[in-house]
Amino acid sequence: MAPRKAPSIRQRRLAGELKRLRVAAHLKQEHVAERTGLDASSIYRIERAMNKPQRRTVLTLLDLYGVTDPDRRATLLDWLKEPGDGQPLWFHRYEVYLPDVMMLFVKLEAEAESLRVYESMLVPGLLQTEEYARAITRSVSGWPPEEIERRVQVRLHRQDVLHRSAPMRFRAVLDEAAIRRVVGGPAVMRAQLEHLATASREPGITVQVMPFSTGEYPAMIGNFVLMDFATPFDRPVVYLESSAGDAFIENEQDVARYAEFFDAISARALRPAASRTLIEEAARALG
């Protein structure tokens, strides 16, 4: 049996919008099943992006939900198509190797317009050097060498979003521990810090450091990534990564809470220029 693929960003968008339209029409899934002849379990799976619906199914649902605007209908139908048909995107070749939740994160990240990241212990993946990424992956995974190399290459490919024709806006707040912990040895860490300082000068990339002298502050309990998208129908998403498992948060109130967390820690962290100075000092201290 072929492994099930993680839903694409377009499938996820379509699923979320169909659910919102059903709720706005004050219909339960069983009511939709009764009026359309569709199976209730199929509606459930479509709304959770577990099944990709056929075009005629989407048209039937849009008619039931009263969506008559031609542009909106065209947009939703367009989400049935995959970008770059006939030209597989780079991450497709890794799809059979990565867990579904990680694959979904990679797809969301690839289409995000901007990212806000908080990291308490590590340099964010999009700003990691190859040797730093390899040292981290080797130390935390216990994977065989070929899997470690595969994960490192995925991480390096992900960094393309910072250099595409319309670069992602990237803001990161790092705890000072992330630049003080020597990962991979002094030479690897120094190269990583120098790369981080250089990247922080690029347009669209903002790096701030929360110094130890700040003491306690909001969001110390864990790392998170807040993704924003250009598409008006696609709401922001928060990604949480931990040793207990990864998770996505899409509830509007919860996402807003994480946005407040980020604003609060960004306001208390060192300004970008002062953060870069601290990063450069940490690099020089490594010899």
Pair 67, 124 in one domain: no
The residue out of 48, 78, 108 marking a domain boundary is 78
Does 191 map to a domain? yes
Pair 112, 35 in one domain: no
Euclidean distance between CA atoms 159 and 52, whole angstroms: 29
pLDDT of 49: 86
Pair 18, 144 in one domain: no
pLDDT of 265: 94
Pair 13, 119 in one domain: no
Does 166 map to a domain? yes
DSSP 73-127: HHHHHHTTSPTTTTS--GGGGGTTTS-HHHHHHHHHHHH-SEEEEEESSS--GGG
Q: How many structural domains comprise the chain?
A: 2
Pair 71, 109 in one domain: no
Does 84 map to a domain? no
Euclidean distance between CA atoms 244 and 225, whole angstroms: 17
pLDDT of 201: 97
Pair 47, 148 in one domain: no
The residue out of 34, 55, 78 marking a domain boundary is 78
**Domain range holding 109?**
93-284
Q: Tens of pLDDT along the chain (287 residues)?
A: 344 455 666 788 889 899 999 999 999 999 999 999 998 899 999 998 888 899 999 999 999 999 999 988 988 888 887 654 444 578 888 888 888 888 888 988 988 999 999 999 999 999 999 999 999 999 987 889 999 999 999 999 999 999 988 889 999 999 999 999 999 999 999 999 999 999 999 999 999 999 999 998 876 768 999 999 887 667 789 999 876 667 888 888 999 999 999 999 999 999 999 999 999 999 999 98
What is the DSSP code (8-state) at residue 55? H
The model carries a pTM of 0.80
Pair 125, 155 in one domain: yes
Euclidean distance between CA atoms 131 and 108, whole angstroms: 25
Query: Domain holding 15: CATH number?
Result: 1.10.260.40
pLDDT of 254: 93
From residue 157, how far is each of 60, 93, 118, 130, 161 by CA, in Å? Answer: 39, 12, 21, 11, 9
Query: Domain holding 172: CATH number?
Result: 3.30.870
Pair 150, 260 in one domain: yes
Euclidean distance between CA atoms 61 and 177, whole angstroms: 51
